[in-house]
Amino acid sequence: MRALLANPTPFLFFTGKGGVGKTSLSTAAALALADSGKRVLLVSTDAASNLDEILGVPLRNHAVSVPGAPGLSVLNIDPTAAAEAYRERVLAQVGPGASETERATIREELSGACTTEIAAFDEFVALLDGEASAYQHVIFDTAPTGHTLRLLSLPKAWSGFLEGNDRGASCLGPHSGLKTQEARFRRAMEALTAAARTTVVLVTLPERGPIAEADRTAAELSALGLTHQHLAINCVFHASLREDAVAVALEAAGQQAIAGLPPRLAALPRDQVPLRPFDTVGLAALRALLRDGPVAPEPAASAPASALPAEPLSALIDDLERAGHGLIMVMGKGGVGKTTVAAALASSLVQRGHPVHLTTTDPAAHLDATLAGQLPGLQVSRIDPAAETKRYVDHIMATRGRTLDEQGQALLREDLRSPCTEEVAVFHAFSRVISEARRAFVVLDTAPTGHSLLLIDATGAYHRQTLRDLPATINPQRVSTPLMRLQDPALTRVILVTLPETTPVSQAAALQEDLRRAHIEPAAWIVNRSLLASGTRDPLLRARLDGERRQISRIAERLSKRTFLLPWLPTPPVGLDALAALVGP
């Protein structure tokens, strides 16, 4: 990362497709700057952050010093804690003259999932607006691309919404008390768009999919005014044994992807970080990650893959097929291969004679590219936030707006311009998908962990509100909410996808615990892109194999009821034939 760190701006945003190494690179960059004598704050905006594991420091929603790294502090924007603090700040603005009824109404309006998102966004804005002035550099380790694009677009969206709007209320609180917020949002946007203050680091792997997403992200950020960008290509591999077919294929695929960079990315200043033989956990590994020159791998010897406690994916299809219908939710950290697994499960069920609806909640959806073709009996869709928002607004205007006069309709439409409306609309679309699974197979390719958990939080909030508002004449046992359907193992199967590495497995384990707190029990784990079955003899790749075996055993013995294994492939499984081969007979 020599080019980036030679003259870094005060704010550095690391963004990219899930699984490309944003957390590793952003943390290593923060550590390198701190080691050079700078005061650095590393901030995670990912609701599913694993910075605590990487640094060995418990994350808090306030800055915590990192032992062994003088000058480095870390902060996690915790959405739940941020939401409660935000509610208290908004209530304080109301003043002592407000009645308890008015205060209760405001608290109720600020209880939804979109308020949680806005509260986290408010803390993000505060850091841009001077709250982190004690630090020379603030480095943001962001959530995967789609969620981050929304975060970076919110200052512009909210300042536009509040401009001239001093009536009504939203998940920000009463509009009349928010003029100071409007000014802060504008200053945040100025900080983001100033080339001397902010650099967006587009992190990618030397693979076509992540590179294509980085190119799209670069274009969308440029449209928002964030034009000062830098490209970081992570995990660049060079084979040391030319007779090793696996290693040579891996190197060739990477070099081909780099040579074919789109013009927009090729024109950016660039750093390449080599693939390392170790997991980037702990300060020593993070310092070695950006060290110049090769890092010698430790000798490794692994047992044959046949000894692994895992099953082929076809056995999972057998189990899913017996139910005859249901919701199959594919979940996990960004970049672990959820879309590939979802497409493989859906297409396999169709080929066995079942009609299937394959859909996604991921803002950066890649289903069409993964399928690369049409299959009779397979319906493919995307829960598109823009389309769902329009549908929801039209519905509200046709129902609630029908009884209002012209001025009332104008106020209602103005209130529906709030960026929070999108969150509500996506939840309603998610609920429709859950209902559809009562009579057919629905395979849901979810957004990366943090965004999916927010969606489940919204489902839980709706469940609680439904039961709270239930008339006394209706038996609660006769009511079925979306959350109750997610909790029903006869209707919903949650499949966790991970990679055979320490951090993705720990993050999947944390996701499993979050789901269990919502009384949703995962049915199985899928370990994707394992090198163990490849037969490679390359020293660097073999140095990673013992780590793979430890993680797969950890899953099978301590975390999962059933474990399934998918091999690393020299060519990503794109197209119906490749997906069928992935499942096996």
**Structural domains of the chain, ranges and CATH numbers in brackets:** 2-289 (3.40.50.300), 314-583 (3.40.50.300)
State yes or no: is 27 an active-site residue. no
**Cα distance between residue 12 and residue 195, in whole Å:** 11
Amino acid at 435: S
Q: How far is the C-alpha of 562 from the C-alpha of 558, rounded, in Å?
A: 11
> Is the separation of the CB atoms in 410 and 386 below 8 Å?
no
Query: Band of the pLDDT at 386, cuts 50, 70, 90?
Result: confident
- Taking residue 85's Cβ as centre, other Cβ atoms within 10 Å add up to 15
CA distance 113 to 123: 16
Q: What is the pLDDT of residues 132-144, one digit of tens each?
A: 899 999 999 876 5
- Residues 434 and 362: their CA atoms lie apart, in Å, by 16
Q: Is the pLDDT of residue 11 over 80?
A: yes
Q: What is the pLDDT of residue 387?
A: 87
Catalytic residue list contains 498? no
d(CA 231, CA 238): 20
| Under 8 Å between Cβ of 565 and 552 | yes
Q: Would you state the pLDDT for residue 443?
A: 94
Report the b/e string of 516-550 with b at 16+ CB within 10 A: eebebebbbbbbbbbbbbbebebbbbbbbbbbbbe
What pLDDT is recorded for position 114? 56
H helix or E strand, kind and range, residue 204: strand 198-204
According to the model, what pLDDT value does residue 300 have?
Answer: 45
Taking 3-state DSSP, the helix, strand and coil percentages for the chain, each rounded to the nearest 5, stand at: 50, 15, 35
- If we measure between CA atoms, which residue out of 497, 482, 512, 503 comes closest to residue 446? 497
Q: Among candidates 136, 133, 142, which has minimal Cα distance to 33?
A: 136
DSSP category for residue 311:
B
Nearest to 363 by CA among 86, 181, 117: 117
Rank 172-181, 184-193, 358-367 by mean pLDDT and report only the highest. Answer: 184-193
Is 24 among the catalytic positions? yes
Q: Active-site residue among 9, 15, 24, 481?
A: 24
Strands 64-65 and 72-76: antiparallel
Instruction: Output the CA angle 303-308-314, nearest 5 degrees.
Output: 140
**Is the confidence at residue 31, as pLDDT, over 90?**
yes
Choice among 16, 18, 19, 335 that is catalytic: 19
What 8-state DSSP symbol labels residue 412?
A: H
Residues 114 and 116: their CA atoms lie apart, in Å, by 5
The residue from 18, 21, 209, 332 that is catalytic is 21
- Whether residue 204 has pLDDT greater than 90: yes
The whole-angstrom separation of Cα 271 and Cα 234 is 8
Express each pLDDT in 545-583 by its tens digit.
878 888 888 998 899 989 998 888 777 788 888 888 888
Dist CA 499 CA 417 (whole Å): 40
Is the pLDDT confidence value at 153 over 70? no
Asked if the model's pLDDT at residue 169 lies above 50, the reply is: no
* Residue 6 vs residue 464, higher pLDDT: 6
β-strand partners of 341: none
Residues 155, 188: contact at Cβ < 8 Å?
A: yes
Q: Of 9, 18, 22, 460, which one is the catalytic site residue?
A: 22
Q: What pLDDT does residue 33 have?
A: 97
Which tokens go with 168? 């009504």
Q: pTM for the complete prediction?
A: 0.66
Spatial CA neighbour of 29 closest among 298, 361, 280: 280
Residues 575 and 538: beta-carbon distance below 8 Å: no
Query: Among the options 15, 503, 530, 563, which is catalytic?
Result: 503
Contacts of residue 340, defined as CB under 8 A and 6 or more positions apart, other chains included, come to 370, 528, 572, 573, 579, 582
Q: Say whether 19 is catalytic.
A: yes
Radius of gyration of the chain (CA): 24
Q: Report how far residue 58's alpha carbon sits from residue 182's, in angstroms, rounded to the nearest whole number.
A: 33
pLDDT (tens digit, 9 = 90+) per residue, 270-328? 999 999 888 888 999 999 999 876 665 554 444 444 455 667 788 899 999 998 999 99
Strand (E) or helix (H) holding 369: helix 367-371
Tokens representing 134?
């004690």
For strands 11-15 and 198-204, give the pairing: parallel
Of 26-35, 49-58, 169-178, 294-303, which range is least confident? 169-178
Which pLDDT band holds residue 530 (cuts at 50, 70, 90)? confident
pLDDT at 98: 75
What does the alpha-carbon distance between residue 552 and residue 526 come to, in Å, rounded to a whole number? 10
Catalytic, 95? Answer no
Helical packing angle, 113-126 and 179-193, nearest 10°: 60
pLDDT value for 28: 96
Tens of pLDDT along 56-113?
Answer: 888 887 899 999 999 999 998 876 777 777 777 777 776 677 777 777 776 666 665 5
Within 79-207, where are the H helices? 79-94, 100-109, 113-126, 145-162, 179-193
* Catalytic site residue from 16, 26, 46, 401: 46
